[in-house]
Amino acid sequence: MSSDAESFLDVSDLEPPEPLVRALARIGALKEGQYLRMRHRREPCLLYPNLEQRGFTHLTRTSGSGFDVFIWRKDDSAAEQAACAAADESLGG
Amino acid sequence: MNPAALSLEQTPPLSVPMRFFLTAPLFVVAAAAVMLWYGPVVLSSRWMPSLLAVTHFVTLGFLAMIMIGAVQQLLPILMASPVPRPQLTSRAIHLLLTTGTLLLGTGMLTGRAGLFIPAMVSLGAGLLIFIVVVAYCLIHARSSHATVSAMALAITGLAVTSGIGLVLAGGYGLAFFQLPRYLTDLHLVWGLLGWVGLLVIGIAYQVVPMFQLTSNYPAVVMRWLPRGLFLALLLWSVAQLFPASYYWLELPGGAGLAAGYVSFAVITLLLQQRRRRQVSDVSVNYWRLALVSLLLAMVLWGVDGLTTLQHAELLFGVLLVLGFSMSVVSGMLYKIVPFLVWLHLNNHMQAAGRWGEKIPNMKQILPELHSRWQFWLQFAALLLMLGAVLWPLLTRPAAACLLVAFALLWWNLLEGVRVYLRYVRAV
């Protein structure tokens, strides 16, 4: 996993809707080839349709007692590759 | 929860829950005004007509009103099972519940038998629509969360409470019908420990971990506690209905209810004690006040206080209604209302394609200072009301405090809606 490609955000200690607000703010600043890895204690169901509407897509993996959500722009294939590799790695780990 | 099934489009319009939330505090203001008018006589016996009116303004006009509004909002969000025709359904239930409660309370206050029949029709129709709609949604729920079964049991509790209530109202409204007073204890216990209690437990399973950043309730508790409580309630009820043959069921039934609710209170307090961020929060304060009240009410229940201790019945009622149920409801409102306002504003901005625009956060929608003041007023009203049971001279100060507390709650909720309207109009 390339650390440059990953932008990490831990929202486990935030109450709704702050995790969603921070995630949406952060994806707006993603550069070409970059994806967001968001760590949350619950599955952020309300986030998904918001991502869809803004042209982003995601992969969700369970992580310890919570979830890791990998988010990237739909048309950014480099970010997609990096996110999928990181998601697979998190499964293996 | 099936996340794929959850979409923003399933969120009912803000007006669906808010029409219930903005009506409910006004019924408590009305109840407090009745207490102010009648004074200490209200609390002189549990059978006083003015106390019956006050109780029903609070339980139907406030508790049922809020819970019915909240359930219509929670079904689509938590269970991906939206209410069919949400606007029409909520308007019909709201109109029937509001009219029926006003007629019932006025009938109790004035003793005019003619008011009970339209009250029964209105309340019966409103509650029946709600029960059928929720049953339909629960059957179609795309979730196997413990909240679904707890909610199903709570709705059964509401059906039993309403059924007994209609029979009791018939005793007031129909000349040929003898009022079966022995059903009153069943009515109030099914209402408070069946409908309200089980619904609070089912909703707590979701909102306590979500909003108060606690761990989840233990799986075994989530699965078995509501079922155990429901079974205990059935056993206790059989003992009440057939005392000659089944009096011995009162002990396991009553002890089971007390043990179940004490467990719920202790587990929730422990979860809150170990929450991830120990920040001061009005909603958590409300929950703690509610759970301590529930524990005290269960102590009274456990020592058989309802029949042996003077004033115990009224203390039990005040602890369970004002202390537990109304505190939980206020605490939930302070999370649910700003969250819903935020959610609908976010949806609105999305639909308008204005993603970059700032929308107010939860604390801007419902300022912490206003809710904190409201909490202390409601807490003072509870203490004064408990005092008024023992020292009737405190009745009017307690009523005045209750009136101000719920007028302020109403104002705070209205402020949230105003924030929403201001932003929507600007777009």
pLDDT tier, B37 (very low <50, low <70, confident <90, very high otherwise): very high
The CATH architecture annotation of domain A6-92 reads 2-Layer Sandwich (3.30)
| pLDDT score recorded for residue A3 | 65
Environment class of residue A85 by beta-carbon count within 10 Å: exposed (0-12), middle (13-18) or buried (19+)? middle
Per the CB < 8 A criterion, the answer to whether B394 and B387 are in contact is yes
Nearest by Cα to B76 from B150, B159, B13, B152? B13
| pLDDT score recorded for residue B353 | 79
Q: Bridge partners of A70?
A: A37, A59
The DSSP annotation for B320-371 comes to: IIIIIIHHHHHHHHHHHHHHHHHHHHHHHHHHTT-TTS----HHHHS-HHHH
First to last CA, chain B: 33
Any alpha helices (H) in B12-144, and if so which ranges?
Answer: 15-38, 49-56, 65-79, 86-110, 116-139
pLDDT tier, B4 (very low <50, low <70, confident <90, very high otherwise): very low
Task: Compute the nearest-CA separation of B210 from chain A (Å).
Answer: 7
B43: amino acid identity, one letter = L
- Phi/psi at A37 (5° precision): -110, 115
| pLDDT score recorded for residue B303 | 75
| pLDDT score recorded for residue B116 | 93
Residue A59: its H or E element = strand A56-63
Residue B310 pLDDT > 70: no
Nearest by Cα to B197 from B266, B99, B265, B113? B265
**CB-based contact (8 Å) between A53 and chain B?**
yes
Q: What is the pLDDT of residues B159-215, one digit of tens each?
A: 999 999 999 998 887 777 777 777 999 999 999 999 999 999 999 999 999 999 999
d(CA B324, CA B284): 13
Per the CB < 8 A criterion, the answer to whether B386 and B296 are in contact is no
The whole-number average pLDDT for the span B312-336 is 95
d(CA B32, CA B395): 10
Per the CB < 8 A criterion, the answer to whether B293 and B319 are in contact is yes
Torsion angle (degrees, nearest 10) of CA B30, B33, B34, B38: 180
Option in A13, A46, A48 nearest B276 (CB): A13
d(CA B89, CA B130): 8
- Phi/psi at A61 (5° precision): -130, 140
Residue A1 pLDDT > 50: no
pLDDT-above-70 percentage for chain A: 95
Nearest by Cα to B137 from B85, B64, B87? B85
Q: Is the dihedral of CA A82, A83, A87, A93 positive or negative?
A: positive
Per the CB < 8 A criterion, the answer to whether B200 and B157 are in contact is no
Chain B interface with A: residues with Cβ < 8 Å: 1, 3, 6-8, 209-213, 276-277, 339, 342-343, 346, 350, 355-356, 361-362
As given in the structure block, the two tokens for residue B378 are 């409601």
Per the CB < 8 A criterion, the answer to whether B223 and B201 are in contact is no
Q: What is the pLDDT of residues B93-127, one digit of tens each?
A: 999 999 999 999 999 999 998 999 999 999 999 99
HSE of B243, CA atoms in CB hemisphere, 13 A:
3
| pLDDT score recorded for residue B327 | 98
d(CA B24, CA B66): 6
Q: Which residues of B touch A49 (CB under 8 A)?
A: 6-8
Find, in chain A, the residue whose alpha carbon is nearest to that of B336. A16
Of A49-58, B152-161, B400-409, which gets the smallest average pLDDT? A49-58
Task: Compute the nearest-CA separation of B223 from chain A (Å).
Answer: 20
B406: amino acid identity, one letter = F
The whole-number average pLDDT for the span B137-153 is 90
Domain boundaries, chain B: 309-427
Option in B7, B211, B356 nearest A49 (CB): B7
d(CA B119, CA B116): 5
Residue B6 pLDDT > 60: no
Q: Which residues of B touch A26 (CB under 8 A)?
A: none
pLDDT tier, B304 (very low <50, low <70, confident <90, very high otherwise): low
The whole-number average pLDDT for the span B267-279 is 90
pLDDT-above-70 percentage for chain B: 96
Nearest by Cα to B211 from B292, B282, B138, B290? B282
Of B89-103, B216-230, B339-353, B381-395, which gets the smallest average pLDDT? B339-353
Q: Mapping DSSP to helix (H, G, I), strand (E, B) and coil, where does residue B71 land?
A: helix
Q: Mapping DSSP to helix (H, G, I), strand (E, B) and coil, where does residue B141 land?
A: coil
Task: Compute the nearest-CA separation of B276 from chain A (Å).
Answer: 6
What is the residue whose two structure tokens read 């407090």?
Answer: B32
pLDDT tier, B45 (very low <50, low <70, confident <90, very high otherwise): confident
B82 Cβ contact list (under 8 Å, min separation 6): B10, B12, B75, B76, B137
Interchain proximity A15–B213, CB inside 8 Å: yes
Domain boundaries, chain A: 6-92
Mean pLDDT of chain A: 90
pLDDT tier, B308 (very low <50, low <70, confident <90, very high otherwise): low
- Helices B368-390 and B395-426, packing angle to 10 deg: 160
d(CA A38, CA A12): 9
d(CA B264, CA B246): 28
b/e B392-409 (16+ beta carbons within 10 angstroms → b): eebbbbbbbbbbbbbbbb
Interchain proximity A45–B350, CB inside 8 Å: no
pLDDT tier, B9 (very low <50, low <70, confident <90, very high otherwise): low
| pLDDT score recorded for residue A93 | 52
Any alpha helices (H) in B115-196, and if so which ranges?
Answer: 116-139, 146-173, 183-189
ipTM: 0.84
| pLDDT score recorded for residue B309 | 64
